[in-house]
Structure 1
C-alpha cells in the first residue's frame, strides 16, 4: 500500500489554481483530441483546438478557440465550430447560429467549454511567463530573462498538452471539418 501524498495548507499560486481548473475541465468534458498552442498573433495567449461529435449526424466537428490581433494590435478571442467562426464572448444562444444544425446545442456547449479552457490555458501561460520576474533570477527585458520566459511558456505548453492527451486522447482520424 502506498503512502498518502503530504498535504499543505499553503495557498496555491494563480497558475496552480488555473491548472487545477484546466485539469477539472479535461476530466469532465466530452471533447476529444484537445491541442494547446501559443497564439501566433497574441504573445502569451493560448489557442485551443478540439473535436466533438455532432449528435444529429454523427460527424466529427473541429472546434477552435483562438486569439487574433486587429490592425491596432488589440487582441480579440474568436471561436470556430467547423467552418463557422464568430468573435467571443459567445453565449449558448449565440452559438446556436454557429452549430451545423439548429436543433443541436451540444456543439454550442462544447465550444463554450473550449473557450473557458482557452482562458485557463492563457492564464497559465501568462503566469508562467512572469516567473522569471522574481527579483534576482534575471534582469527583465534582457536576453537571459527572455530565454527563461520562453522556457517557462514552452514547459507549460508541454504540460497542458500532456494533460489533455491523457484525458482526451489524440485528434480523431476521421475529422470531417
Structure 2
C-alpha cells in the first residue's frame, strides 16, 4: 500500500469539515500534514479518488461495503463548485497552490493526534497487524484505524459551496501531502 493517507470525511457544517486521516504505510508512520495545500488536495481527492473506494472495502462485510460504495458514488456524482473553480489544478506544484489555495481554503488545524507513540512502537504494531492483509485490505485498515497513527484535521473553506461534494463517512485514499509550505519562499 503506497497511499500517503486514508481519509474519512467527518462532520460537514457550513464552511467547515473535519477529515479523519490515517497515516499511510509507505513513509514515516507518524507522518501528518496540516497545510492549506494538503487540505485542498483532500477536498479535491474526495471526489476524484472516490472510484478507488471499492479496493478499500473489498473484504468488508457486504452491508458495510455497500454503505461505503454508496457514499463514494454520492461523492463522485455530486456537483462540485470546487472542481469547477479549480479548473485544471496542478496540485503537485507549490506555485499553483500559492496562487490558488487561498481562494478555497481559509484555515486548517490539527484537532488531535492518536497513537503518536513513535516510529519504533508503530513499526512493531504494523508488523503485528500486517498478517490481516492476507484476509483483505478492509480488515487490515480497520485494525490500523484503531492501532496506528492518525489525526483529525479541521478545514475551513472560503465558501460553503466548496464542500457540496462531500459525503460524511466517505472513505478514500490519497497521495496528498504538504505541497506548499506558506512559511517558505517559493523557488523562482
What TM-score comes out, normalization by structure 1 length? 0.28
Higher relative contact order (CA 8 A, sep 6+): 2
What TM-score comes out, normalization by structure 2 length? 0.26
Greater CA radius of gyration, 1 or 2?
1
